[in-house]
């Protein structure tokens, strides 16, 4: 066994559990789990962790976010249908796929996991997952904060069977838990009938999602094994779902506690020693400063989600004003070494409101919410410590969120939506595109009625034949968006200036424009990504745009075009002006 790994794990365990006498024993158990993984996969536990640095990613990285059953057809397992769709439609467009939890589950479309090591039997098998991993890099969710109440761990807890009696967190219902930060407005404690009588257990998200007790090292061991199992199945990216809530300590917010950060660092240490090619991503839908804290000192997450991007892009396009988006982008701190952002504008969840706390005035947030209501959306609320509620996220498909401005719907929906995607693709980091952005999916209100959950509005399950018909018919918005967005993605993947490590500068000249300058690492390519966020035609004499160079060509033009004298931008048009 490597002493370096043991020493590092012992340090992290001490940060998690304090100066307990058995810290080295806990660290040895973690090292033993790593050694078993290494032996099984013909790897070795490295004496010195390997840092792959900037070679960990490139401009070719594009991630598709999808459920395992987002596209399905009769008489075929959905994962097989998805695999065929990816290979036939997206082989040269993306190189990575985030398959949202594809395990047996009892609620929340997969995020209430019954069995962490099995594939949902109605969706396929591990062989189907491997088929996708043969052609695309794979992102798998480690749903680490909670499990389903139908999980065997919880059933054994109810039955008072060891060692599971300490896998969950019991709290006296009379305890004051008002300081605990909640992403939901449901009760924090849920009553459970056990063989020892009624017990109240911690449930941050719902009564079906029971939080796990990481104060018990046995729970940590379970998840280290699951973590390495996913890597064994071919995961290049591991997404730590809802990790900010991991550690509980009464009398605190129970959010972003030091023990939580130490646990993320431990998971980073583990891949450094046994799988240095793996990228650890934290999912923390919180205000920007809190979100960025998960980079640590380049020793925590490799990547964090840009949770501020979706609401600020939507606000800019809805308001016709890029000032808040530009100010936020300009204030993004330099990336720590070996770290990057995961950029997205839509996902399986709603458009978060918390990330713009302190960035958008409350009046602007409320106006945006009111506009989304007019476009068929909903808003989910969270509980505050004073007993009040406040908006947590907007539930709407991004395509329908772009159907108009705060003045109401108009005829610019497709172009406005494509503008949102072009802005995201130009941002420093790795872009992640939700499948319902690629397919311009409208609000699925029927799905909301079926499930009773507002998030279902953005979780349509496409029948393959219907989707293929829409994508093959050039007059549909689905075909128009899919054709243009995949074209943009192909163009993006060929530009060194769009490498995640390429420099980003924000240029501010007026509120009508969002402008990024990207510069490749070797300074050979410069791209000015300029987006008109208004419904007006903008005519910009180059003499007034002193930051632009002569002889720039628009990479997004359908025919080669050199910009001279004047730059004309049609409503919601984006240009990528490059010197090469």
Lookup result for tokens 């890029």: 322
| Residues whose CB falls within 8 Å of the CB of residue 554, separated by 6 or more in sequence, listed in order | 561, 563, 575, 576, 577, 578
Report the SS3 class of residue 281.
strand
Q: CA 213, CA 220: separation in Å to the nearest integer?
A: 9
Helix (H, G, I), strand (E, B) or coil at 470: helix
Catalytic residue, from 128, 137, 141, 241: name it.
241
**Closest to 520 measured CA to CA, from 508, 502, 505:** 502
Q: What is the rounded CA–CA span in Å between residue 175 and residue 471?
A: 55
Task: Tell me if 137 is assigned to a ligand binding site.
Answer: no
Please choose, from the candidates 148, 166, 160, the residue with its C-alpha nearest in 3D space to the C-alpha of residue 193.
160
Q: Answer yes or no: are the C-beta atoms of 307 and 355 closer than 8 Å.
A: yes
- Distance from C-alpha of 141 to C-alpha of 305, rounded to nearest angstrom: 14
Is 56 assigned to a binding site? no
Residue 189 in marked binding region: no
Residues 6+ apart with CB under 8 A from 205: 108, 111, 145, 146, 183, 184, 186, 242
| 3-class state of residue 237 by DSSP | strand
Give φ, ψ of 53 to 5 degrees.
60, -140
**DSSP one-letter string for 45-65:** --SS----GGGG--TT--EEE
SS3 assignment, position 420: helix
Q: Is 146 marked within a binding site?
A: yes
Q: Which tokens belong to 541? A: 């004499």
In sequence order, which residues have a C-beta less than 8 Å from that of residue 19 and are 6 or more positions away? none
Is 398 marked within a binding site?
A: no
Does the annotation flag 455 for ligand binding? yes
Residue in the structure block whose two tokens are 């993320």: 264
Taking alpha carbons only, the member of 441, 343, 394, 417 closest to residue 71 is: 441
How far is 489 from 88, CA to CA, in rounded Å?
16
Q: C-alpha dihedral over 187, 188, 189, 190, to 10 degrees? A: 50
- Is 128 in the active site? no
State the alpha helices, DSSP H only, in 148-216. Answer: 152-158
| Strand ranges across the sheet with 513-519 | 503-507, 513-519, 526-532, 574-578, 553-554
Catalytic residue numbers read: 241
Question: Which positions make up the binding site for substrate?
Answer: 108, 146, 239-241, 348-349, 455
Question: Which positions make up the binding site?
Answer: 108, 146, 239-241, 348-349, 455
């Amino acid at each position: 066994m490597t002493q370096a790994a043991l020493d590092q794990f012992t340090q992290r365990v001490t940060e998690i559990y304090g100066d307990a006498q058995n810290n080295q024993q806990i660290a040895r158990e973690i090292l033993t789990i790593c050694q078993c993984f290494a032996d099984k996969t013909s790897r070795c536990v490295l004496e010195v962790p390997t840092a792959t640095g900037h070679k960990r990613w490139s401009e070719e990285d594009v991630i598709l976010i999808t459920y395992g059953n987002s596209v399905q057809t009769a008489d075929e397992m959905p994962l097989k249908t998805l695999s065929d769709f990816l290979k036939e439609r997206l082989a040269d467009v993306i190189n990575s796929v985030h398959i949202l939890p594809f395990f047996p589950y009892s609620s929340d479309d997969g995020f209430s996991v019954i069995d962490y090591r099995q594939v949902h039997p109605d969706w396929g098998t591990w062989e189907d997952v491997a088929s996708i991993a043969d052609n695309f890099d794979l992102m798998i969710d480690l749903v680490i904060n909670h499990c389903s109440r139908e999980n065997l761990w919880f059933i054994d807890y109810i039955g008072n069977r060891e060692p599971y009696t300490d896998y969950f967190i019991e709290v006296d219902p009379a305890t004051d838990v008002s300081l605990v930060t909640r992403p939901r407005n449901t009760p924090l404690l849920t009553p459970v009938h056990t063989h020892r009588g009624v017990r109240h257990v911690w449930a941050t998200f719902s009564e079906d999602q029971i939080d796990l007790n990481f104060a018990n090292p046995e729970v940590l061991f379970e998840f280290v094994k699951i973590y390495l199992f996913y890597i064994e199945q071919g995961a290049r990216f591991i997404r730590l779902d809802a990790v900010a809530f991991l550690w509980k300590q009464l009398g605190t917010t129970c959010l972003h506690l030091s023990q939580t950060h130490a646990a993320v660092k431990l998971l980073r240490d583990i891949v450094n020693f046994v799988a240095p090619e793996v990228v650890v991503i934290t999912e923390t839908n919180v205000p920007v400063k809190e979100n960025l804290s998960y980079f640590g000192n380049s020793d925590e997450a490799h990547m964090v989600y840009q949770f501020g991007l979706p609401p600020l892009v939507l606000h800019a396009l809805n308001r016709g004003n890029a000032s808040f988006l530009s100010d936020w982008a300009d204030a993004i701190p330099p990336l720590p070494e070996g770290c990057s952002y995961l950029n997205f504008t839509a996902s399986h969840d709603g458009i978060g409101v918390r990330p713009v706390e302190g960035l958008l005035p409350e009046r602007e947030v409320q106006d945006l919410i009111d506009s989304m209501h007019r476009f068929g959306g909903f808003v989910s609320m969270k509980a505050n410590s004073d007993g009040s509620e406040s908006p947590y996220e907007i539930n709407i498909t991004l395509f329908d969120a772009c159907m108009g401005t705060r003045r109401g719907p108009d005829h610019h929906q497709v172009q406005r939506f494509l503008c949102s995607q072009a802005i995201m693709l130009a941002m420093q980091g790795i872009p992640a595109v939700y499948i319902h952005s690629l397919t311009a999916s409208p609000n699925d209100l029927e799905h909301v009625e079926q499930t009773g959950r507002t998030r279902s509005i953005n979780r349509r399950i496409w029948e393959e034949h219907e989707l293929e018909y829409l994508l093959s018919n050039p007059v549909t918005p689905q075909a128009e968006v899919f054709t243009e967005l995949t074209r943009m993605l192909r163009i993006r993947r060929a530009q060194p200036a769009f490498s995640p490590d390429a420099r980003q500068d924000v240029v501010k000249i007026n509120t009508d424009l969002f402008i990024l300058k990207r510069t490749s690492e070797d300074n050979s390519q410069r791209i000015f990504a300029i987006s008109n966020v208004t419904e007006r035609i903008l005519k910009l004499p180059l003499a007034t745009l002193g930051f632009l160079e002569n002889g720039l060509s628009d990479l997004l033009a359908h025919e080669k075009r050199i910009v001279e004298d004047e730059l004309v931008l049609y409503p919601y048009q984006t240009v990528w002006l490059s010197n090469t």
